[in-house]
Structures are given as C-alpha cells and as structure tokens.
Amino acid sequence: MDPVEVHLAQVLAAVRPLAPARYGLEAAEGCVLAEDTRAALALPSFDNSAMDGYAVHAADIAAATAEDPVSLPVADEVTAGDTRQLTVEPGSCVIIMTGALMPGGADTVIPVEWTDGGRETAQFHRAAPAGNSVRRRGVDVAVGDLLLPAGTRLGPAQIALLAAGGNAHPLVRRAPVAAVIATGSELVEPGQDLAPGQIWDSNSYLIAAAVRRSGGMARRHRVPDDPVAMLGALEAQAPLCDLLITTGGVSMGGQHDVVKASLSGWDDVTFRKVAMQPGMPQGFGVIGERRTPLFALPGNPVSAFVSFHLFVRPALDALRGLTATTPVLRATLTDGVRSPSGKRSYLRGTLDLAARTVTPLNGQDSHRLGTLAHATALIIVGETVTELAAGAETDVISLP
C-alpha cells in the first residue's frame, strides 16, 4: 500500500492552475485573483464629510457650549456628488451631507446633532478640534498600495474594494468545474420509487456539494455498471470540465468494477491501494486531449468523502492557483479510539475549537452517513498507532 502523501504527490504533480482571464466584477465573485492588484486611486479620493452637519473653521466655534452657543450664518449647502469648488469663509458655515466634498477653508465638520439644525443661521452647542468627522484623502488606501494580493478569493468585501478602486475587470482564475459521476446500476434519483435492491443516489449529491463548498462548480451524473457506458461518459465529460470525479467501481476488479474495467489499459490512469481507512482503493490519472484530471474514489459514502478532502480538495486549490494544503490542527481526545496497524485512520468526530477537544462519534463504518452528517472533524490516527486513550493529543482536520 502507498502512503497518503505518495498518492497526493501524484495528484498535485498532474494538476496545473487554470489559465487566468479578466472577468467583470459580478462574474469574478468567488474567483481567485491571479495577480497583485494595486490602487490606482487613493481611497477616499478626496476629503469628505463623515457626518451630516456643517463644515466650519474649528476656531470659529472653539468657545461654543450648550449654555452659550455660537451662531454662524449658513452660506451654502453641499451634498454628495456636488462637484463645485466651494470655500467656507471665516465666520460662516456650509451645510454638508455625508460623503460630500469638503469645501476649501473648512477644517472640521460639526454633526447636525450638536446644533439647532438651522438653515439660514446655525447655532453650535459644542466645540470640536480641526479634522473632526472629516475623512481625509487616502486615509483608507494610498495610491500604489497593495489592494489585494494574488491568491485572494473574491468575496463581497473584496469585490467592493476592487469596485471602489475602479478595478472593473480583475484578472482571476475562475471556479473549477467538476463532473461528478456516481456509478452503480442500483442507484435511483431521490424521490423516485425503489425496487428491491435499489438505493437512492447520495454520493453524487455528497461530492457535488463538497466541490461547491471547496470553491468549485459541479455537475452530477449517474452511470450504470457498464464499462462501455462508463467510458463513454468519461470521454464525453472530459472536454467539458476541469476535473472528473467518480465514486464506486474501484475495489474488486473485473467487469463489475466498472471504473477500473472501463479504463483498463490506459497508461495515464493508475489504480492503487492507499494506506488509509476508510478509502483504501483509489484511482487517479488524466484523460482526453485536455488531460483532464480523473479522481476515481471509492463507493462507500464516508470513504468517498474522506478521499475528497485528502486528494480532491487540494487539487481544487491548485487549479485555482492556491497553495494546496489540508489544514490540520491539534486537539485532545475526550474518548479513546482504536485503529488498524499499517493504515492511517480518519475517524469522524465533533470538534470544540474553543476548548481544542475532539469527541469521536459512534459508528465509524464507511457506509454510515448518519454519523458523517454529525461530524465536524476527521480524527487522524497514524499508521503505527493502534490505540489512543482519552486525553491524548492527535491531529485533526476541521471539516468546513
């Protein structure tokens, strides 16, 4: 059996980042920046008011108190979007709205709540130092500053920053598209009637959801236990997607092991046993003119899910130009666990991040979706360890 690291290394050696392209901001949401993006314009690009109120000379209202307010004549009004170059003369004020261009001469803004709200003459009940409620040009971002580095995933705040900086078409790597193919003549679409011996397909939903959670897009397919149909599906989907993921058909060999049978003789696809539990049988390679990566995962849902996180998720990161890693942290077991010798176990558990403890769940069989649905972590037990007691520390993968 090959170590987990050997199989992962083969995967990552075959995966290349997607070619970058320029997308509009709405289309770029969820994509990953392919280059550093710098500010061509300061943010804010001009001095402006942080409040609705009055632009004044701070010295004019230095003596203002609630008991003895200072009155100033209102010379004008400036709203957001007003591009006039106004000037506030000493001994006067200008009504100003939030975001409006600061008039020349004025050095502070007095919130309307500190005044009587007058429109011809305003009374000021409090003093304020110069710069009060003024957003200075470049206080957020200066010209030439790094807005976002390459490798940044563009969420709402990042899209807003690019928009504010006038970056309408960032260079990005789009979300990878995966074709998820569940194999098995026994599979039926959920909601349809079942005949004896049939089951509702859950694997394609499981892996497609995991792809989306990992920053990709997914299309689901089902193929019966027919090598010709399987090969036809793979060849049809390979030009249309960035990676192929199959579940099932990799364990026993022969015609019933449909993925193996369909790809027998293909030099670019390898099937092997990996020293892990669950998920020992694995297949990986590239097919088609585009050399589309193919992941042949086991059919048991927990095995497929664990295999996805160990091998497919890092590949999705690599396709997006990100560092391919599986985040691991240390946690203390609240209960003991057992593991077979010679295999690295990935046991389902619930993680308390605050306490850095992890609790193993009952029912670790690879078909048990009920247990998997409650898991928030995978507890890692090394190949040479057969037992860990409660209170022992171990590596844990936090599940997103």
**Sheet of 70-78, strands arranged across:** 108-111, 53-56, 93-96, 70-78, 121-124
My answer on whether 240 and 283 are in the same domain is yes
CB 276 within 8 A of CB 286: no
pLDDT digits (tens, 9 = 90+) for 197-217: 999 999 999 999 999 999 999
My answer on whether 103 and 28 are in the same domain is no
Whole domain around residue 117: which residue ranges?
48-135
My answer on whether 308 and 240 are in the same domain is yes
The count of structural domains within the chain is 4
CA distance 302 to 279: 8
Of 265, 286, 319, which residue sits at a domain end? 319
Q: Where are the alpha helices (DSSP H) in 97-165?
A: 156-164
Select from 142, 274, 295, 98 the least CA-distant residue to 210: 295
My answer on whether 34 and 168 are in the same domain is yes
One digit per residue, the tens of pLDDT, for the chain of length 400 reads 899 999 999 999 999 999 999 999 999 999 999 999 999 899 999 999 999 999 999 999 999 999 999 999 999 999 999 999 999 999 999 999 999 999 999 999 999 999 999 999 999 999 999 999 999 999 999 999 999 999 999 999 999 999 998 899 999 999 999 999 999 889 999 999 999 999 999 999 999 999 999 999 999 999 998 999 999 999 999 999 999 999 998 876 655 688 988 888 788 999 999 999 999 999 999 999 999 999 999 999 999 999 999 999 999 999 999 988 888 999 999 999 999 999 999 999 999 999 999 999 998 888 888 889 999 999 999 999 999 999 999 999 999 8
My answer on whether 151 and 129 are in the same domain is no
My answer on whether 310 and 358 are in the same domain is no
Q: List Cα–Cα distances, 100 to 89, 178, 186, in angstroms.
A: 18, 48, 66
Residues in contact with 232: Cβ distance below 8 Å, sequence separation at least 6, in sequence order? none
User: Residue 122, class by beta-carbon neighbours within 10 Å (0-12 exposed, 13-18 middle, 19+ buried)?
Assistant: buried
My answer on whether 217 and 290 are in the same domain is yes
My answer on whether 289 and 309 are in the same domain is yes
The CATH number assigned to the domain holding 39 equals 3.90.105.10
My answer on whether 230 and 166 are in the same domain is no
My answer on whether 370 and 391 are in the same domain is yes
Instruction: Give the predicted TM-score (pTM) of the model.
Output: 0.85
CB 93 within 8 A of CB 72: yes
My answer on whether 272 and 164 are in the same domain is no
My answer on whether 110 and 145 are in the same domain is no
Which residue matches tokens 């003895």?
Answer: 68
